[in-house]
Amino acid sequence: MKFNKVLENVTTYEAGKPIELVVREYGIDPKDIIKLASNENPYGTSPKVAQKIQELSKNMFIYPDDSMFELKESLASKFDVNESNVIIGSGSDQILEFCVHAKCNENSKMLMSKTTFAMYEIYGKQTGCQILKTQDDEHNLEQFSAMYKEHGADIIFLCLPNNPLGECLDKEDVYKFLETVDENTLVVVDGAYQEYASFKDENKKIDAKDLISKFPNAIYLGTFSKAYALGGMRVGYGVANEEIIKTLYKLRAPFNITTLSLAAAIEALKDEEFVQSCIALNFEEMKRYEDYAKQKGFDYIDSYTNFITLKFGDMYSSKEIATQLLKRGVIVRDLTGYGVNAIRITIGSQSQNTKVFSILDEVLEENK
Q: In CATH, what number is assigned to the domain containing residue 29?
A: 3.90.1150.10
| CA 44/CA 268 separation, integer angstroms | 11
Mean pLDDT of the chain, nearest integer: 93
Q: Does residue 67 sit in the same domain as residue 178?
A: yes
Choose one of 271, 302, 332: the last residue of a domain. 271
How far is CA 63 from its chain centroid? 28
Q: Does residue 18 sit in the same domain as residue 145?
A: no
> What confidence score (pLDDT) does residue 159 get?
98
Specify the DSSP class assigned to residue 57: G
Cβ neighbors of 101 (< 8 A, separation 6 or more) are 123, 126, 127, 251
> What confidence score (pLDDT) does residue 43 get?
94
> What confidence score (pLDDT) does residue 368 get?
73
The residue segments making up the domain with residue 188 are 47-271
Q: Work out the burial of residue 144: count CB atoms within 10 Å of its CB; fewer than 13 is exposed, 13-18 middle, 19 or more buried.
A: buried
Choose one of 254, 271, 288: the last residue of a domain. 271
> What confidence score (pLDDT) does residue 54 get?
87
> What confidence score (pLDDT) does residue 148 get?
98
Choose one of 271, 300, 326: the last residue of a domain. 271
Instruction: Please count the other Cβ atoms lying within 10 Å of the Cβ belonging to residue 293.
Output: 18
Q: Does residue 164 sit in the same domain as residue 264?
A: yes
> What confidence score (pLDDT) does residue 198 get?
97
Q: Work out the burial of residue 125: count CB atoms within 10 Å of its CB; fewer than 13 is exposed, 13-18 middle, 19 or more buried.
A: buried
> Which is it for the CA torsion 116, 212, 95, 63, positive or negative?
positive
Number of domains in the chain: 2
Burial track 80-109 (b if 16+ CB lie within 10 A, e otherwise): ebebebbbbbbbbbbbbbbbbbbbbeeebb
Q: Does residue 240 sit in the same domain as residue 352?
A: no
> What confidence score (pLDDT) does residue 125 get?
94
Q: Does residue 231 sit in the same domain as residue 112?
A: yes
Q: Which residues in the chain land under pLDDT 70?
A: 13-17, 22-23, 25-26
Q: Does residue 307 sit in the same domain as residue 185?
A: no
Q: Does residue 216 sit in the same domain as residue 304?
A: no
CATH number at residue 151: 3.40.640.10
> What confidence score (pLDDT) does residue 188 get?
98
| CA 263/CA 4 separation, integer angstroms | 38
* Beta carbons of 261 and 108 less than 8 angstroms apart: no
Q: Does residue 91 sit in the same domain as residue 196?
A: yes
> What confidence score (pLDDT) does residue 117 get?
95
> What confidence score (pLDDT) does residue 137 get?
93
Helix/strand/coil (H/E/C) assignment for every residue in 310-346: EECCCCCCHHHHHHHHHHCCEECEECHHHCCCEEEEE
Q: Does residue 19 sit in the same domain as residue 52?
A: no
How far is CA 286 from its chain centroid? 18
| CA 366/CA 95 separation, integer angstroms | 44
> What confidence score (pLDDT) does residue 186 get?
98
Beta-strand pair 155-159/109-112? parallel
| CA 321/CA 300 separation, integer angstroms | 15
Instruction: For residue range 301-335, list pLDDT tens digits in order.
Output: 999 999 999 999 888 999 999 999 999 999 999 99
Instruction: For residue range 246-275, list pLDDT tens digits in order.
Output: 999 999 999 999 999 999 999 999 999 999
Specify the DSSP class assigned to residue 309: E
> What confidence score (pLDDT) does residue 324 get?
93
> What confidence score (pLDDT) does residue 15 get?
66
Q: Does residue 27 sit in the same domain as residue 82?
A: no
Q: Does residue 334 sit in the same domain as residue 227?
A: no
Q: Does residue 123 sit in the same domain as residue 169?
A: yes
